[in-house]
Amino acid sequence: MLEAIRRAMTFLREKQVLHKLGVVISVAVIGIACYVLYHMLRGIDRNEVVEAIKSTEPSQIAMAALFVAAGYFTLTFYDLFATRAIGHPHVPYRINALAAFTSYSIGHNVGASVFTGGAVRYRIYSAYGLNAIDVAKICFLAGLTFWLGNAAVLGLGIAYHPEAAASIDQLPAWLNRTLALAIIVALIAYVVWVWTQPRVVGRGPWTVVLPGGPLTLLQIAIGIVDLGFCALAMYVLVPDEPNLGFIVVAVIFVSATLLGFASHSPGGLGVFDAAMLVGLWQMDREELLGGMLLFRVLYYLAPFVISVILLTFREVMIGARSKRLQQAALKLDPGPAREAAYVRERSDGGA
């Protein structure tokens, strides 16, 4: 059975079926979201949206910002876990934190986070001897942590309150609960599968040993805490009335986040917003839209600006350190150093 699945996956990869299917799904999700968003935003009073933002209590914004910061702090453990899992404990936590924070905040805003986040990670981790394959493994394990956390949150949340998902997928509550229980069973089966013996995916240098049972539970816990903090930030910013409860908002938020992720649009722009407006239809649209805009500033815009500043400062420091080393080498051994500098100058000038 497993061999048949491998052959089928190999055939799909060779024919690029999965890639083409992914593009079709992304375009379809974006198209549907734009249509829904257009109808949802018709008649929106922009002045009321601005007034809703202005009327938000500073304490609410501060609390939401604190939850966002806690969420990004939890994200740093994605990379810490992944680098240890592939056998690179020499990478210090501060580098894991920098790589995780900058890669996710830039990937969230630019879109195609697998590639943009991977490029940022490679730039940071290559200074510690990690190659492109190592970075790809880190991205894979970090993504696995993300999806395991999502599966746990959605499975438990929808099983507890299936009506929350019904507002987005328009399926009956009993079917949503059945699907949620199926997700939980699949998650438990995966934990048992990796617990019984070491499991390996990939081939050759791309081989990744999947974390065992206890470490998989740790992955799930990290993902749940991360999504929980993000959902709390959104919950603080949505209108107080009607009070739907945290579980409902969390399920809708995670579902909207996943739809935005599937669309590959920067920050899930349009897709995430449409899903939130549809899912939380009971709330005042202007007030909800104001809360969503504040969330985007706190979760997307502010971390993106901070990441750009951090990476720019890092590149300046690396450049200055390299220049100091060249000057020191020139003082210690001026002949070869000058000759090398001359060759570099001629080659740069010729280019």
Q: Which residue has the higher pLDDT, 39 or 88?
A: 88
Tens digits of per-residue pLDDT, 239-292?
888 888 888 899 999 888 888 777 666 667 777 888 888 888 888 888 888 898
Residue 125 in this model has a pLDDT that exceeds 80: yes
Please report whether residue 6 resides in a domain: no
Residue 99, pLDDT score: 93
Please report whether residue 284 resides in a domain: yes
Residue 350 in this model has a pLDDT that exceeds 80: no
Residue 349 in this model has a pLDDT that exceeds 70: no
Please report whether residue 103 resides in a domain: yes
Across the chain, mean pLDDT equals 81
Coil vs helix vs strand at 41: helix
Cα–Cα dist 165/246, whole Å: 13
The arithmetic mean of pLDDT across residues 187-198, rounded, is 92
Please report whether residue 311 resides in a domain: no
Q: pTM here?
A: 0.80
Cα–Cα dist 222/80, whole Å: 11
Share of the chain above pLDDT 70, in %: 78
Please report whether residue 315 resides in a domain: no
Residue 211 in this model has a pLDDT that exceeds 70: yes
134, amino acid identity: D
Q: Which residue range(s) make up the domain with 104?
A: 15-301
Range among 13-17, 112-116, 169-173 rated most confident: 169-173
Please report whether residue 279 resides in a domain: yes
Residue 263, pLDDT score: 67
Residue 272's CB is within 10 A of a number of other CB atoms, namely 24
Please report whether residue 68 resides in a domain: yes
Domain count, the chain: 1
Own/partner pairs, 21-28, CB within 8 angstroms, 24+ separation: 25/262, 26/262, 26/263, 26/264, 26/265
Could you tell me which residues come within 8 angstroms of residue 308 by beta carbon, excluding any fewer than 6 positions away? Answer: 106
Please report whether residue 106 resides in a domain: yes
Could you tell me which residues come within 8 angstroms of residue 52 by beta carbon, excluding any fewer than 6 positions away? Answer: 284, 286, 287, 289, 290, 291
Q: Which residue has the higher pLDDT, 202 or 311?
A: 311
The arithmetic mean of pLDDT across residues 301-326, rounded, is 85
The arithmetic mean of pLDDT across residues 27-43, rounded, is 58
Residue 95, pLDDT score: 93
Torsion angles phi and psi, residue 314, rounded to 5: -65, -45
Give the pair of three-digit tokens for residue 61: 């914004």
Share of the chain above pLDDT 90, in %: 34
Residue 47's CB is within 10 A of a number of other CB atoms, namely 9
Q: For residue 26, how far is the Cα from the chain centroid? A: 17
Q: Are 153 and 254 in contact (CB under 8 A)?
A: yes
Residue 272, pLDDT score: 82
